[in-house]
Amino acid sequence: SYVVTQPPSVSVAPGKTASITCGGNNIGRKSVHWYQQKPGQAPVVVIYHDSDRPSGIPERFSGSNSGNTATLTISSVGAGDEADYYCQVWDSSSDEYVFGTGTKVTVI
């Protein structure tokens, strides 16, 4: 089945930019979605279809996808952005939804 990998953790200083990667074989040919999960809460979609933002999600959140890597970028990071972030794709060959391993973002 399709495998998607993420770095376990990313640390970023307040006000700086965090980049979270999501790697998979030719992932650029798939649609990638990103979810933010804060402790004790359900996930929330922050980017869908590679780079679209749902209403209510700040413009600081952006996404891109090309080749073997998709990237979620969070600019002007603040303490409220500390969370786990998961990428997700749908693998058409197996007709299965696949989540990445998750990345913990820490604001230092």
Partner 1 sequence: QVQLVQSGAEVKKPGSSVKVSCKASGGIFTNYGFSWVRQAPGEGLEWMGVIIPIFGTTNYPQKFRGRFTITADKSTSTAYMELSSLRSEDTAVYYCARVGDYGASHNFDHWGPGTLVTVSS
CB of 48 to partner 1, least distance (A): 5
Given a contact cutoff of 8 angstroms between Cβ atoms, the answer to whether 78 and 53 are in contact is no
Query: Which residue has 């307040």 as its token pair?
Result: 14
CB of 15 to partner 1, least distance (A): 29
Sign of the torsion formed by the C-alpha atoms of 34, 107, 82 and 100: positive
CB of 29 to partner 1, least distance (A): 14
* Between 21 and 45, CB nearer to partner 1: 45
Binding region for partner 1 (CB under 8 A): 1, 31, 33, 35, 37, 42-45, 48-49, 54, 86, 88-90, 94-102
